[in-house]
Amino acid sequence: MKEGKAFLKSKMKWVGLVGLVLSVFSLFVHFLLARFTEDGFSEYQSSITIFSWRPVFEATDLSRTSPLYRRLWGPVGQLESLHPHANPKGYYADPSAQSNGYIFVRIQGGFHEIRSSICDVVAVSRFLNATLVVPEIQQTTSKKGISSQFKSFAYLYNEETFMAALVKDVNIVKTLPKSLKSARRNKEIPVFRVPYAASPYYYLHNVLPILIKHSVVELVVSDGGCLQAILPPDLEEYQSLRCRVAFHALRFRQDVQDLATNILHRLRAPGRPFIAFDPGMTRDALAYHGCSELFQDVHAELIQHRRAWMRKRGIIKGQLSVNSAKQRLKGSCPLTPEEVGILLRAYGYSWDTIIYVSGGEVFGGQRTLIPLHGLFENVVDRTSLSTSWELSRIYGREANLDESYPRAPPSAQVETKLDAWKNSGPRPRPLPPPPARPKTYNIEGWWGWVAESDNEPESTVVELRTNAHKLLWEAIDYTVAVEADVFIPGFDSDGKGHPNFASLVMGHRLYQSAASKTYRPDRKEVVRLLDQIHGHIYHANHSWLTSIRRHMRSSLVDGLIEASNKSKSSSLLSHPVPECSCLRPNPSETLSNASTPSVHLQVHAALGVVHRCPAWMDGEKNLSSNEKDNEEDIDENDPSSSRLFLQHAGSHDAGGEDINLKEESQFEDQEEDGGD
């Protein structure tokens, strides 16, 4: 009996041991699978990940054929005749096999500066009959611990696609020949720090002779554009070339493009359209325009510190202290996320509309976006629509490295003070010197203290890597914003008074699909309207809502015309009309509605569009004239959309005002139709 029990215990021990071994083996296999089958695992995990975005929608189903849907999401009828056309419009020869030499380019700056500069240097290379070396697209990254991949063209864009798309425009090579490489390494080739928006004749008279003499020149582009936006009429084909570069040749590298596509799929999964919003509230832009008083405490100090830094370097020629309230009234400051949210709600977008916040980090952090979250339930960005491992995969091999390089030893002066304190006489002795304050300061940050010197502290290795990653973040946001159903900017100027990220998005949307809804609100007028209800901003009356809707609707076309007239000279990519567009009137338009064609012709004349689209475009499907007429006559003051804003503000009498709203709407609609 005892032997049987001992045998049973021994057997159970062996079973337990075998089970333990199998468990360890199973865990080991799972770790191997997670380590070496990352692609398959990521596809599986992406299908079961619960994102921080949990969409909440009301039960009402807004039909795509309803007037309200077409007013909020439908195309802009007056711009439907504009179509992209960046092909050569006349005789256009292939690049010459015998070039005048090589142009090596280093581009410094952020996402929008890099994109604009690449288009300009391609046009300059064609103009000078030179061979372009694929540009370096990062600021200098010669610091210890920074990989050279962060300044390579391929870190952001698809190099092969870029070269293949421009094979009939300019000769492009990946690197300089070996002999010229060594000459550049020894700093034996001429270098030009190109001025912003230089004329073609600058290159013809200054750069070309040196290029022919030395067979190579290096261009340093730092201000986001090295060729003027408007070229003489005889250089019309160079404008089309710049559009081909920006809208066809520049494709983001494949894994970045794939992640942006996945985010787009997740945005459209609920089956609803969405709005892309770019706040444009960067520290440089706020400092340049003197808008520090939009914030409080350390935020205002950080902006003023940056403004002082910019004045010291000649970027700003005005006074250090600027009245931010006056700047805001002039429309020189960005619209805050709360102000943009109020505009959208007042126009008729419901509380459950999906809003994608794009354009990189917002100065002030997430607290700046809290009012927008209060107005709209579904405010998202790339971080809420993707996982951390999806983002980390596109960063490269240095993404997870810590700042582990050795710290600098304390200065000799500090050691002397410590020795003097230790060797001083009997107590009471003076207090020891305080420890050195770390000079950690981020250009785009909102950290808890301001640097004590006038100079910006030198960026650390981690900050330099983060700046490189920001290019990828903005590439994802750029793709999503261009494809959005509606786009609205908070600001359209950067920290040097040049077009910013939002400007490039609006230009790309204008080229790709001119009729897509892109609001361009007049900030001066918006501030005036918002100040009218400053004391009761969430309980607006009907006449104020009507004024907002009229302004928002007019910004779709009038805002485009005004921007084209005022800021066309700043950037071609922000306003690629008429150089890169053509006119294809709808053949079904008749004189049955004479007002519609005349309005369209006035818009086309204001934009300067004269080129007719080639014949092969005529086969594409057009909207019927009835559809267009309906879009132009949409009820601008729909009472149901009025209640959307009032209900969210907690107004319980909104339902009782239906009859009055309808009567006012009918009267105002008649007034509006008569005005058109």
Q: What is the pLDDT of residues 456-498, one digit of tens each?
A: 666 677 777 777 788 899 999 999 999 999 999 999 888 787 8
Do the domain assignments include residue 79? Answer: no
Do the domain assignments include residue 202? Answer: yes
Say yes or no to pLDDT of 405 above 90: no
What whole-number distance in Å separates Cα of residue 112 and Cα of residue 495? Answer: 12
Nearest by Cα to 335 from 117, 134, 77, 528:
528
Domain around 120: 102-251
Nearest by Cα to 616 from 590, 586, 584, 580:
584
| Residue of 21 and 525 predicted with greater confidence | 525
- 114 to each of 138, 396, 456, 486, 570, how far by Cα in Å? 8, 20, 22, 25, 15
Average pLDDT over residues 162-171: 94
Top-confidence range, 55-59, 264-268, 532-536: 264-268
Do the domain assignments include residue 632? Answer: no
Provide the domain count of the chain: 1
Do the domain assignments include residue 574? Answer: no
Contacts of 314 (CB under 8 A, 6+ apart): none
| 101-144 residue pLDDT tens | 999 999 988 899 999 999 999 999 999 999 999 998 865 444 55
Do the domain assignments include residue 382? Answer: no
Do the domain assignments include residue 227? Answer: yes
Do the domain assignments include residue 405? Answer: no
Average pLDDT over residues 515-525: 94
In this structure, the number of other CB atoms found within 10 A of the CB of residue 251 comes to 16
Hey, CA dihedral for 132, 136, 140, 146, is it positive or negative?
negative
What whole-number distance in Å separates Cα of residue 623 and Cα of residue 638? Answer: 24
Confidence at 295, pLDDT banded by 50, 70, 90: confident
Of 27-36, 291-300, 548-557, the one with minimum mean pLDDT is: 27-36
Do the domain assignments include residue 223? Answer: yes
